[in-house]
Amino acid sequence: MKITLRVNGTDHVREVEPRLLLSDFLRHEIGLTGTHVGCEHGVCGACTILWDGEPARACLAFAVQAEGHEIRTVESLSPGPGRLDALQQAFQDSHALQCGYCTPGILMTLTAFLAENPHPDEAAVREALSGNLCRCTGYQHIVDAVLRVAAA
Amino acid sequence: MKPAAFDWHAPTLLAEALALKAGHGEAARFLAGGQSLVPAMNFRVAQPAVLIDLNRVAVLDHLGFEEDGTLAIGALCRYRRLERDAEVARRLPLLAEALAEVAHPQIRTRGTLGGNLCHADPASEMPAVMLALEARLVLRRAGGIRQVAAAEFFLGPLATALAEDEMLAEIRIPPLPPGSGTAFLEVARRRGDYAMMGVAVVLRRGPDGRCDLARIALCSAGPTPMAAPRAAAALLGQALEPAAFAAAAALAVQEIAPMGSVQASPAYQRHLAGVLLPRALARAAERAA
Amino acid sequence: MTSFGRPLTRNEDPRLLRGEALFVDDVELPGLLHAAFLRSPHAHARLLAIDTAAARARPGVVAVVTAADLGEYWQPGPLLVPPPPVPGMEFHQRCQVPLVRDKARHVGEPVAMVLAESRYLAEDAVADILVDWESLPAVGDLEAALAADAPLVHDDLTSNVAARVHQARGDYAAAARAAHLVLKRRFTYDRGASIPMETRGIVADWDRRADRLTVWDTTQAPVVIRNGLAAMLGLSERQVRVVAPNIGGGFGPKMMMFYPEEVLVPWAALRLGRPVKWIEDRLEHFFATTHERSQIHDAEIALDAQGKILGVRDVFLHDTGAYDPYGLTVPLNSQCTLLGCYVVPAYDSAFTAVFTNRTLVTPYRGAGRQHGVFVMERLLDLAARALGIDRAEIRRRNFIPADAFPFDQGVIYQDFSRLSYDSGDYEPILDKALAAIGYDDFLARVQPTARAEGRALGIGLVCYVEGTGIGPYEGARVQVQGSGKVSLATGIGSQGQGHATAFAQVVAEQIGVDIRDVEVVTGDTDQFQWGVGTFASRGAVVAGSAAHEAAKVVRAKILRTAAAHFECAEADLVLADGAVTVAGTDRRIALGALAGLANPMRGAVTPGTEPGLEATRYFGPASGATASGVHAMILEIDRATLRPTILDYVVVHDCGTVINPLILAGQIHGGVAQGIGNAFFEKLAWDSEGQLLNASLADYLIPTALDVPRMRLEHTVTPSPLNPLGVKGAGEAGAIPVGALFAQAIEDALGLPARDIEIREMPLSPSRLWEITEGG
Ligand SMILES: Cc1cc2nc3c(=O)[nH]c(=O)nc-3n(C[C@H](O)[C@@H](O)[C@@H](O)COP(=O)(O)OP(=O)(O)OC[C@H]3O[C@@H](n4cnc5c(N)ncnc54)[C@H](O)[C@@H]3O)c2cc1C
Ligand code: FES
Ligand code: FES
């Protein structure tokens, strides 16, 4: 069926099967490969996007369901070509990523979290991160990056 | 892990949704937040031929207290809306306390209480909370409506009293008896995991200072959410003190039938019930007026 | 300003942060076909018949491939690591097959490959395939697998023994006779999985016109894959390009090769003349990507009255899974690493590797070292208790003295050389760790106070060594480009360890450019032809050293070319900030311009001149560099629920010279997190039929941000004499000692020694701990 999805402020019209997962739509239909897929059962968080501003798993929704909603992916964070937003910059400065596979999902979770809690303490940051798995970093530098942004 | 093909219907009217279900029967599943159904479809353990997506049925997405203090929760009301509602937190703190243990914010953005109850996972927190709150569930079918008590809704692991053509439309939670205190406690392996054991309790101190109301429900304690009526009854007329809590816990441990999981042996689950119940009862007693 | 040794942020980050970096599943090609696999549902079953007609007939399906369709191409995979030259050893090589032909030997073994227009369709068709199986009894338990009447994983063998290796030096029997104390215990370590956030994947594209095959693969060893694929497919190596782009974590299992899918997907692309993609899903990952860790040790330690080790004897079983292409790397690591930081005058160790009906076992971060450390450190804990010696003290008494290096351990290591520690100094590490964690104060004051309040606090302290940076070799090519930027190419893949930055620092140090101007290419066989791979914590050591050597040559070329240009002595030149300057003058030439001079387009050059400011060098260490460290931890445990909370965690580590402390810290943090998972969360659970019971991330639990504590890191430095940089690897150090640490700290917190309860197994869980401590 034909759908129009609004992603990062742009409308995308595609012919899709109802069963196409939103994560596959973003990655393979419209080429936004920044959203990653690590489990397809909602646990790892790599596919986290913003759904009307709230963090949600792209692997647990069908693309057809996103019609009429505002979807935001990691590609929308950068303030301009080649630039990083404050959170992304803090990630680089704190060495908060290694392989970087979990990173887009974590950035989306944290973008929503910081909008609601601009000055969290470490415990709150860890709690907020607990729905995203990272296998490389042991999380410490990610926590540091968030605290860096929170302090700014 | 890609879902099998299905026909997708996204009605906007309740009647349409019910008619679709009546027409397709067992071949069709309702889709609410998708946080249990879609993973099951991705694993292909669920392969419904028809999905009736409820997300556009606006009338199902309501939340509010009625005049008599009953909280009416539309089947499509998201966890997120529930947990952010200050009035819910004030009047039904048990609900808010337990919600925080359910999954993660990213899941609660889309997940619904209604879908969670229909999924009927015995390890899930909310079904036990519904028992403790004596919730009533409004079930609709094309041209029909009935209410069942939460205690009658859950029949077994992933099995409910819903008939083939029925939908859960609304969850109705009566007001807590004035003066009662509640508590929810669980032990999970990690934050956001299903509990290895969870307990929900409601207590009230009578005019004579002794317990005159007690309800105990547990999750991960059997094939359905489990009530512990004998343990609750044993508290009645007792002073709300550690000895009574321990005695009640000892009874509750006999009433449950934990099934064990990869994470916890049945013996350990039973042990946890014995640990958590006195803690939860003490906390509820503290909170009771 | 020199960049070497500084905590510089990474070159690779901006693209990853913007979601612009290429991972294998990001590769899109016109006409792409998608593969899905039918996998064995049985742990052990004979394949009687297979009917693919319905699958082939499904619209959108292009091909269905079974073992029979492969013809001559059907070959068991190559043996990656031959057995070690240990006298008297026995080794049976049985390598994995591309598709099951006669019988399946583990759940998830591929049986048929479907190629279709989408992954969705391919999975539909997999469900259409009908297979007649004759289910056979499966072996999982290591001891049961060795019973005389056990079902055989490989019918042509007389037992399930995959290998037997015995290494000994000194006279253990005599040591035991002379000992004041001999302790004998059984220790077990169960299976876990590496679970990188990115699963495996492969895309293959046969370009008919260019006559070339391009393969994008989530491998840690692209060059080896290219060479192997070329050989298997009958192509020349020139015709095959393997790219390991950004890899979403590997931790060892992406070093395994050839996975069946790696053999089949390129073949299908060639056959069908269309590009093919296969991305492992998480469910497949639990069965199809290699595991690690099951071992059972019966170990014995002999000590004198002062707690000095006289000897250790260890007999252990190692689960190798259904096949053993990775040889004996893991059990050899266990065998060798057991010796740890200690002088062990007599050592007698024998292991039996056992075939089971389970997924293959190949190295995963730590690669068997955990087991050795667990056994030795537990034995020392128990000995300390029996002898009334403090835990730290018994370790100190047995340390290899600082003046004893290089120290020959007299056994054969995984690189087949004699295990010899290049350098080290263990007491300062221990002292730092004790001070940092507040060991004395904890025992004297903190713990008793907490106990009085009813809280169960415990401390743990574990020492370990890590053999790192083994051979054979890696290479690097450094080139100054016309733009003035410097490129560095090596053959290893990268899984997120920050090679693009660490290597850039090594090169920038020599060539005097900003690290942002060093472009590092790893993992593309068109960019560099030779190499082995990222494993055994060897990237920084071996490829880093090669980069250093190549950069040194380029530096010399730069100075020579500039001296000719300025007609001055090389000694008068300053190479810095991307240019060469004649000291004390304003005569200056940018590196880019100099590169142009080094590549004249007309005229003649002196015979023998090599064009360009470029050099390629290879580095192969004689043997591995031995890193070492101490982890210390304070944890609190809820006596009733048995859930632990880590209150403090200290790592003191010596990995020689540090290239980038920020990256090093990240490596250690990540290792500790995996160690915590391995110690307390992660355990693959099987039923008696060999079915995996927790094949999802909801049931196989990897630690979250709330399960990993803040870690405090300190370092000591004993440079390695075996490489020009003095570095030792650090990739696995974080993960190795954590199991032993948990066991010790939990025993301490719960006062288990007083109750005569010992923790002798890994991984733990609250439920298991309850069984051990309360459940009888
Ligand atoms: C990572 C992760 C962690 C989780 N952790 C927890 C946890 O700790 N505790 C916990 O309790 N749960 C947990 N969950 C599950 C979650 O709570 C879901 O059970 C919940 O979101 C289901 O609601 P839904 O709206 O998403 O339902 P859906 O997935 O849409 O539907 C669930 C089932 O209910 C049926 N259904 C839905 N609505 C109706 C209706 N109105 N009438 C009749 N049938 C209906 C569907 O057909 C389906 O069978 C977790 C899920 C994930 C992905
Ligand atoms: S891919 Fe969606 S949560 Fe893992
Ligand atoms: S950086 Fe690799 S998974 Fe997080």
User: Domain boundary at C601, C619, C637, which?
Assistant: C619
Q: What is the edge-to-edge ordering of all strands in the sheet holding B63-65?
A: B63-65, B71-74, B167-173, B136-141, B144-149
Residue of chain A whose Cα is closest to the Cα of C712: A140
What's the rounded Cα separation, in Å, for the pair C342 and C500? 36
What's the rounded Cα separation, in Å, for the pair C21 and B243? 62
The CATH code of the domain that includes A90 is: 1.10.150.120
For residue C669, give its domain range. Answer: 417-469+626-776
Residue A47 near residue A59 (C-beta atoms within 8 A):
yes
Q: Check B43 against C685: CB less than 8 A apart.
A: no
User: Domain boundary at A32, A52, A76, which?
Assistant: A76
Q: Which of C202, C498, B71, C29 is nearest to A100 (CA)?
A: C498
User: For B106, phi and psi rounded to 5 degrees?
Assistant: -65, -30
Do residues C180 and C118 share a domain?
no
pLDDT at residue C410, rounded to an integer:
86
Let me know if C526 is exposed, middle or buried by CB neighbors in 10 A (0-12, 13-18, 19+).
Answer: middle
- Whether residue C339 lies inside any domain: the answer is yes
What's the rounded Cα separation, in Å, for the pair B227 and B218? 6
User: Domain boundary at C262, C288, C314, which?
Assistant: C288
Do residues A72 and A12 share a domain?
yes
Cβ–Cβ contact C666 with A under 8 A: yes
C32 to chain A: which residues are within 8 Å by CB? none
Do residues A30 and A90 share a domain?
no
Nearest 5°: the CA angle C481, C486, C492 is 120
Q: Check C23 against A136: CB less than 8 A apart.
A: no
Do residues A43 and A68 share a domain?
yes
Residue of chain B whose Cα is closest to the Cα of A61: B34
B109 to chain A: which residues are within 8 Å by CB? 51, 54-56
What's the rounded Cα separation, in Å, for the pair C283 and C65? 21
Residue with tokens 């000194």: C170
- Whether residue C407 lies inside any domain: the answer is no
3-state DSSP call for residue C589?
strand
What's the rounded Cα separation, in Å, for the pair C459 and C462? 10
Do residues C496 and C599 share a domain?
yes
The CATH code of the domain that includes C369 is: 3.30.365.10
Q: Verify whether ligand 2 is closer than 6 Å to residue A22 (CB atom).
A: no
- Nearest ligand to the C-alpha of residue C25? 2
C281 to chain A: which residues are within 8 Å by CB? 40
Do residues C441 and C476 share a domain?
no
Do residues A69 and A8 share a domain?
yes
Residue with tokens 């790592």: C651
Confidence label for C730 from pLDDT (cuts 50, 70 and 90): confident
Dig out the tokens for C760 from the structure.
């002798």
- Whether residue C4 lies inside any domain: the answer is no
- For the stretch C117-135, pLDDT in tens is 999 999 999 999 999 999 9
Do residues A54 and A93 share a domain?
no
* Residue C322, number of CB atoms within 10 A of its CB: 25
Residue C344 near residue C411 (C-beta atoms within 8 A):
no
What's the rounded Cα separation, in Å, for the pair C155 and C110? 19
Q: Verify whether ligand 3 is closer than 6 Å to residue A95 (CB atom).
A: no
- Whether residue C296 lies inside any domain: the answer is yes
ipTM of the modeled complex: 0.98
Ramachandran sector of residue C374 (left: φ over 0; alpha: ψ -120 to 50; beta: rest):
alpha
A64 to chain B: which residues are within 8 Å by CB? 8, 10
Running DSSP on this structure, what letter comes out for residue B92?
-
* Residue A12, number of CB atoms within 10 A of its CB: 18
User: Domain boundary at A33, A50, A76, which?
Assistant: A76
User: For B264, phi and psi rounded to 5 degrees?
Assistant: -150, 135
Could you tell me which residues come within 8 angstroms of residue B196 by beta carbon, excluding any fewer than 6 positions away? B186, B187, B188, B189, B220, B261, B263, B264, B268, B269, B272, C766, C767
Q: Which of C526, C487, C511, C607 is nearest to C559 (CA)?
A: C511
- Nearest ligand to the C-alpha of residue C285? 2
Q: Verify whether ligand 3 is closer than 6 Å to residue A33 (CB atom).
A: no
Do residues A16 and A45 share a domain?
yes
User: Domain boundary at C564, C588, C619, which?
Assistant: C619
3-state DSSP call for residue C563?
helix
- pLDDT < 50: residue spans in chain A: none
Q: Which of B81, B7, B112, B110 is nearest to A69 (CA)?
A: B110
User: Is pLDDT at C536 greater than 70 in this prediction?
Assistant: no
Do residues A100 and A118 share a domain?
yes
Nearest 5°: the CA angle C720, C726, C730 is 80
Q: What's the first-to-final CA gap in chain A, in angstroms?
A: 47
Do residues C382 and C444 share a domain?
no
- Whether residue A81 lies inside any domain: the answer is no
Q: Check B5 against C774: CB less than 8 A apart.
A: no
Do residues C69 and C212 share a domain?
yes
Q: Check B4 against A19: CB less than 8 A apart.
A: yes
Confidence label for C180 from pLDDT (cuts 50, 70 and 90): very high
Residue B231 near residue B266 (C-beta atoms within 8 A):
no
Do residues C166 and C234 share a domain?
no
The CATH code of the domain that includes C268 is: 3.90.1170.50
Cβ–Cβ contact C124 with B under 8 A: yes
What's the rounded Cα separation, in Å, for the pair B21 and B169? 13
The CATH code of the domain that includes A28 is: 3.10.20.30
- What Å distances lie between residue C464 and A125, C321, C430, C623, C738, CA to CA? 32, 27, 11, 19, 10
For C110, the enclosing helix (H) or strand (E) is strand C110-116
Do residues C161 and C100 share a domain?
no
Dig out the tokens for C616 from the structure.
């390629």
- Nearest ligand to the C-alpha of residue A56? 2
Running DSSP on this structure, what letter comes out for residue C8?
P
The full set of domains in chain B, from first to last, is 7-53 (3.30.43.10), 58-173 (3.30.465.10), 180-288 (3.30.390.50)
Residue B94 near residue B184 (C-beta atoms within 8 A):
yes
**Rounded to the nearest whole angstrom, what is the distance from the C-alpha of residue A57 to the centroid of ligand 2?**
6
Closest ligand 3 atom, residue C197 Cα:
3
Nearest to C775 among B4, B193, B267 (CB): B267
Q: Verify whether ligand 3 is closer than 6 Å to residue A129 (CB atom).
A: no
- Whether residue C279 lies inside any domain: the answer is yes
Q: Check B5 against A17: CB less than 8 A apart.
A: yes
User: Is pLDDT at C1 greater than 50 in this prediction?
Assistant: no
Do residues C294 and C369 share a domain?
yes
pLDDT at residue C535, rounded to an integer:
67
Do residues A32 and A90 share a domain?
no
Dig out the tokens for B259 from the structure.
């099934």
Instruction: Tell me the helix, strand and coil percentages in chain C, rounded to 5.
Output: 30, 25, 40
Do residues A72 and A93 share a domain?
no
- For the stretch C580-611, pLDDT in tens is 999 999 999 999 999 999 888 777 777 777 88
Provide the number of CB pairs (under 8 Å) joining chain B to chain C: 68
- For the stretch C48-96, pLDDT in tens is 999 999 999 999 999 999 999 999 999 998 888 888 888 899 999 999 9
DSSP A72-85: E-GGGTSSSTT---
What's the rounded Cα separation, in Å, for the pair A60 and B1? 12
Q: For chain A, how many structural domains are there in total?
A: 2
Q: For chain C, how many structural domains are there in total?
A: 4
Do residues A62 and A97 share a domain?
no
- For the stretch C668-717, pLDDT in tens is 999 999 999 999 999 999 998 999 999 999 999 999 999 999 999 999 99
User: Is pLDDT at C776 greater than 70 in this prediction?
Assistant: no
**pLDDT mean over C621-648:** 95
User: For C517, phi and psi rounded to 5 degrees?
Assistant: -95, 10
Hey, whose CA ends up nearest to atom 4 of ligand 3? A134
What's the rounded Cα separation, in Å, for the pair C392 and C376? 14
Which amino acid belongs to residue C449? Answer: T
Nearest to A95 among C9, C14, C20 (CB): C9
Running DSSP on this structure, what letter comes out for residue B126?
H
What's the rounded Cα separation, in Å, for the pair C226 and A78? 37
**pLDDT mean over B191-208:** 96
Least confident of A77-86, C400-409, C410-419: C410-419
* Chain center to CA of C678: 14
Residue C275 near residue C203 (C-beta atoms within 8 A):
yes
A102 to chain C: which residues are within 8 Å by CB? 197, 248
Taking a contact as any Cβ pair under 8 Å apart, which residues of chain A between 28 and 67 contact chain C?
28, 31-44, 46
**Rounded to the nearest whole angstrom, what is the distance from the C-alpha of residue C46 to the centroid of ligand 1?**
39
What's the rounded Cα separation, in Å, for the pair B84 and B159? 30
Which amino acid belongs to residue C443? Answer: L
**pLDDT mean over B182-187:** 98
pLDDT at residue C537, rounded to an integer:
67
pLDDT at residue C415, rounded to an integer:
79
Let me know if C604 is exposed, middle or buried by CB neighbors in 10 A (0-12, 13-18, 19+).
Answer: exposed
- Whether residue C308 lies inside any domain: the answer is yes
- What Å distances lie between residue B33 and B38, B55, B248, C365, CA to CA? 9, 8, 37, 38
Residue of chain B whose Cα is closest to the Cα of C693: B262
Residue C617 near residue C475 (C-beta atoms within 8 A):
yes
Do residues C591 and C730 share a domain?
no
For residue A127, give its domain range. Answer: 86-151
Do residues C671 and C740 share a domain?
yes
Running DSSP on this structure, what letter comes out for residue B108?
H
Do residues A125 and A70 share a domain?
no
- Whether residue C6 lies inside any domain: the answer is no
What's the rounded Cα separation, in Å, for the pair B213 and B180? 8
- What Å distances lie between residue A47 and A104, B77, C80, C567, CA to CA? 8, 23, 35, 60
Do residues C21 and C89 share a domain?
yes
Q: Check B109 against A56: CB less than 8 A apart.
A: yes
Do residues C579 and C481 share a domain?
yes
Could you tell me which residues come within 8 angstroms of residue A8 by beta carbon, excluding any fewer than 6 positions away? A32, A71, A72, A73, A75, A76
Q: Check B268 against C770: CB less than 8 A apart.
A: yes
B/e letters for C186-211, b = 16+ CB within 10 Å, e = fewer, are: ebbbbbbbbbbbbbbbbbbbbeeeee
**Rounded to the nearest whole angstrom, what is the distance from the C-alpha of residue B109 to the centroid of ligand 2?**
15
- Chains linked to A by 3 or more Cβ pairs within 8 Å: B, C
Cβ–Cβ contact B49 with A under 8 A: no
Do residues A95 and A130 share a domain?
yes
